[in-house]
Amino acid sequence: MPTSLVIVESPAKARTIAGFLGPGAIEGHEFLVESSVGHIRDLASKQELPDEFRGEPWADLAINVYDQFKPVYVIHADKKKKVTELRRLLKQADELLLATDEDREGEAIAWHLLEVLNPPASMPVKRMVFHEITPQAISEAVANPREIDRDLVNAQEARRFLDRLYGYEVSPVLWRKVAPKLSAGRVQSVATRLVVERERERMRFRMASYWDIDGVFTRQTNSDRSFGASLVQVDGAKVASGKDFDHAGQAKVGVVVLDEAGARGLAGELLPQAFTVRSVERKPYRRRPAAPFITSTLQQEAGRKLRLSAAQAMRAAQTLYENGYITYMRTDSTTLSDTALAAARATIVERFGAQYLPDTPRQYTKKVRNAQEAHEAIRPAGEAFRTPESVAREVGTTEARVYELIWQRTIASQMTDATGETVSVRLGAIAQPSERSAEFATSGTVITHQGFRLVYVEDVDEGDAASGDDRERQLPAMAEGDRLDVVSLEPHGHETQPPPRFTEASLVKRMEELGVGRPSTYASTIKTILDRGYVWKKGSALVPSFTAFAVVNLLEEHFGNLVDYAFTAHMEDELDHIAGGDQELVPWLSEFYFGPPDPTAGGERRGGLKEQVNAQLDLIDPAAINSIPIGLDPDGVPIVAKPGRSGSPYIKRGEDTASVPDDLTPDELTVEKALELLAMPKGGRELGVDAATGHPVYAKNGRFGPYVQLGDLVDGSKVKPKMASLFKTMTVDRITLEEALELLLLPRLVGADPADGCEIVAANGRYGPYIQKNLPEEKKDSRSIDSEEQLLTITLDDCLVILAQPKLRRGQTAKLPLREMGIDPVSQKPMVVKDGRFGPYVTDGETNASLRKGDDVGTLSVERASELLADRREAGPAKKRPAKKAAKKAAKKSVKKTTAKKSAAKKSAAKKAAAKKVAVT
C-alpha cells in the first residue's frame, strides 16, 4: 500500500490533519503526518558560521554579497533531532507532501525541507496547499497538489536577506553612537519612528481652554418630552470646539472662543428667552457592515473589543486555525468563498430570520495596499459554521473570545444594512440685552431596521470619528417655527487634548495605511520594539523611551531613506514584484546594498547601504544625537534628556544631572518637572529619624519613581535598606516622616480570617493596591482595592467582604444580576439570573445553566430556574481539552503507520529546477 509523508509546521496542525488522513481516508493509501516545528534552518549566526567561511569579508552577514548574494544556511541546533526524525520517516514513504502554510513563509519552509531532506530522485514531491483545516479541504488538497512556487521562495529570501543586511550594517552604528545591544530593522525602526513622532506631537502640544453651553429644551405644545442641544454658533460665527485649535493652542481664524465669563453671561441672557426651531433636516440613515476580517483588522478589533495585544490575538487565531476552527489567519483578502457565503446565509436565516438576509450575497473584493497572496478572509472553517457556544466548550477562554469575534464579523458581513432616519435640528434665540443671536444644534437617529447591528458593530480608535451614528437617539417631532421652552442651560469648560498615543490596534492601522511591513508581521514587530526597550506600555498606550528618541534622531538625520515611510512601502512593492516573477532577487539586492549603477563611473554601483554606513559613521555626533531638548531654564540654559548608555535616562543642565523616573513619559518631562528633579538633593531629602531603629529616613527619586528609604546602604553589605514607593498622591518634597514610616510598614498584616485562620495582607503591587489571603500550600487569593490610601486603613471585615466577591480581570467591573430568583431547593443557595457572553444564565454560585429557547428572563419561575440547574448538574462538568502530555503521546501514535512499497515515479520538475544554495547541514 503506497504511503505519503505529509509535513506541516506545527504539532497541533499535524494532529488535526492526521485525524482526517487516518486509515480509510483514501482507499488503498496511508499517510504519515509529522511537523517540522517551524523553520528547520536559517542564515548562520556569527557563532554558527562554519570554519570554511570564517575570515571572508562577508562572514558576519552569512551572505556572500560579492557572489550573487549566496547565503550560508545552517540547520538550527535544536532542529537537528527533528531533521533526523523526518529523514527516518521519509525512508518509510513513497511520496513527500509538503503541506506548510500557503504564503511566502510557508513556501520557503517547504523549499528548505526539500533541500535538507533531499528525497531520492524517484520519489514524487508535491506541494499540498489549503486555507482551512477541514476534512473536505484536506481531501481536496491531497487530490490537487502543485509544485513549489520558486517566485514565492525568492520573495521570502529577498525579505530575509534584506533584513539581515539592514540589521547587521546599521545596528553596529547604534552600538557605537547610542548604546550597546540596540538593533535596527527595516520595519521595527519605522514602527518606532511612528511612536516617537506621536510623542513629539504631544511634547509640542500646548493646552487651550474653551467653554460651551449645553441646553435642555421642550416643545411648548408637548412639554412631556425634553431633549438636549449644544451651542454651535454666536452671531453666525462657529463656537470653538477642541478640533478648532492647533497644537500650539491657537484657535482657527473666524471661530468664537468663549471663556467662563462669556459662557455664563450668554447663558444668563438666553435663559428667559423663548427659543424657536430654525431648521429641521431629515436624511435617510444607512450603514453597511464591515468586511470580513483580514490579519490587520482582526488584530485591531481584538485590541479594541477584547483588550488583546496583537501577539495574543495572533496566537489565539493560530490555535483556532491549527485545530480546524477558522480559516488561515494570515491573509490580506476580504473575499469569501461560495462555501462560506452559503454557510453564513444559512446561519442568518436560522438564527435571526430571513428579514436580515440580503437578496444576494455581499462581495468584498477590495484588498489592502501591498496585499500579499490571495487567500480567503478569516472566517469560521467548514461548510457549516460552528456556533461560538459550541466552540467555547472545546477551547480556552481567549480562543473562544477570538472565535466569537470572527464568527460575529463574518455573519454580520452578510447581513442587511442598518437603516433608519437621522434628523438634524437647529434652534435659536436672541440674547437680551446684548442682542446676540445664539444657535444650538442637535440630532437624533431612529434605526428602523437593525440589520447587521444585531450581531456586530465595528469599534473605532480614540480620536477617530465614527463612520456613522451608532447611537439610536430619538427626538420629539418638530417643525420649523415651533417654539421651545428652556429647561436648563449649563455652561461647561473644556481643555484641548494632545493627540492620543498609539495603541497596538491603532499602530497596526497606521502601518497598514502606510504600507509598511506586512499585517502578518505586525505582532512580531510590536513585540520586538517592546522587548528592545524602544517602547513601553502605559495602560494600553505605547510610550517611546528616550533611547527610542536617540535612535530615531540618528536614523532620520543620517539614514533618512531607511526610515522613510514611502521608501519602506516601496520595498514591499518590490518584494511583490519578486513574488510575481516580475523582478529578480540578485539585481534588487545589489541596488539596495551597493546602490544603482553610476554611468559616470563606468557602471560601478554607488550610494547603497554599505556606502551610506561607511560615509555617515564619522559624521555622527553622539552628544547631539543623544540629546533630546526639553527647554530653557529661567537663565536661558538648555535642559536636555539623555537615554544613558545603560538605558537609565537622565536630564542634564550644564554639568548638573538628575535621574528620570522610569514611569515618567517624555511629554510629562516639562521644564518645570526637570527643574524639580534637578533641585532634589542627590542623596535624597532626609525626613528625620525612625525612633524604633534609630535609622535616618529619606525621600528620594529613583528609576522606578519616588520612594522612601530607611537607613543607609553600607559599603560591602548585601543587605539593602528597606524601601517603599510613594503613593501617587504624594511627592518627595511634601511627604512627612510620619507618612514615610507608614509606607515602610507595607505590606501590612491586616489580620487572620476567623473561619480558617489564614492571614490577610494589604500591599502595593505592579498593577496597584490589593489585598491577599495566604492559603495553605503556598496558594494565594487576591483582590484589587480602590485606592492606595486604603492600604493603611482597610479593616479585616472590609477584606472579608471584598474576598467574598468573585475575582474579576483587571479593569473589569462586576455585572449586576438581571433577576434574583430565590433559594434553590437542592443547593439551598440563592439563585440569580445573570447576563453572560453567550446570553442569560441562572446560577446558584456553584452551577451555571444557560437559559434555553423559550425561557424569558422576565417570566422565568423559581421552579424552572431550579430545573435548569438540576439538568446542568446531571450533565456533569464540561469536557476539558486533553493535557499537553497526553496530546503529545496521541500525536506520536498517530504518525506510526505500517510501511509499504515505495513508488518508482520520477521526482518532480520543481526540485530539478530549484537553484542550489551554499548550505551546511
The catalytic residue positions are: 328
CA separation for the pair 503, 461 (Å, rounded):
9
Strands 41-43 and 73-75: antiparallel
Instruction: Write the CB contacts of 243 (distance below 8 Å, at least 6 apart in sequence).
Output: none
Where does residue 885 rank: exposed (0-12), middle (13-18), buried (19+ CB within 10 A)?
exposed
How far is 552 from 341, CA to CA, in rounded Å? Answer: 46
Segments in 414-532 forming alpha helices (H): 504-514, 519-531
Q: 334 burial class (0-12, 13-18, 19+ CB within 10 angstroms)?
A: buried
Q: Tell which residue, 824, 666, 610, has the closest CA to residue 197.
A: 666
The SS3 of residue 289 is: coil
The 3-state secondary structure of 385-415, one letter per residue: CCCHHHHHCCCCHHHHHHHHHHHHHHHHHCC
From residue 188, alpha-carbon distances to 169, 181, 512, 562, 615 in Å are 15, 15, 14, 11, 23
Residue type for position 428: G
Say how far apart CA 450 and CA 418 lie, in whole Å: 5
| H helix intervals, 774-905 | 790-793, 796-803, 862-875, 884-894
Element (H, E) at 352: none
* Inter-helix orientation angle 310-322/295-306, to 10°: 120
| Number of Cβ atoms within 10 Å of the Cβ of 692 | 8
Q: Dihedrals φ, ψ of 139, to 5°?
A: -60, -45
Sign of CA dihedral 396, 398, 401, 402: negative
Asked if 671 and 689 touch (Cβ cutoff 8 Å), the reply is: no
Nearest CA to 366 out of 332, 330, 341 is that of 332
Dist CA 640 CA 630 (whole Å):
5
Separation CA 482–CA 476 (nearest Å): 12
Q: How many CB atoms lie within 10 A of CB 577?
A: 15
Radius of gyration (C-alpha) of the chain in whole angstroms? 33
CB 39 within 8 A of CB 65: no
Separation in Å, CA 887 to CA 882, 883, 884, 895: 6, 6, 5, 13
Distances (CA, A) of 264 to 254, 258, 492: 21, 9, 9
Q: Residue 530, SS3? A: helix
The helix (run of H) or strand (run of E) holding residue 448 is strand 437-449
What residues contact 691, with CB distance under 8 A and at least 6 apart?
none
Residue 322: strand, helix, or coil? helix
User: Are the C-beta atoms of residues 627 and 554 closer than 8 Å to each other?
Assistant: no
Grid cell for residue 476: 420629539
Specify which residues 707 forms β-bridges with. Answer: 700, 725
Cis peptide before 433 (omega within 30 of 0): yes
Task: Write the DSSP string, 596-656.
Answer: SEEGGGTTEE-SSHHHHHHHHGGG--HHHHT-EEEEE-TTS-EEEEE--TTS--EEEETTE
Distance from C-alpha of 259 to C-alpha of 279, rounded to nearest angstrom? 28
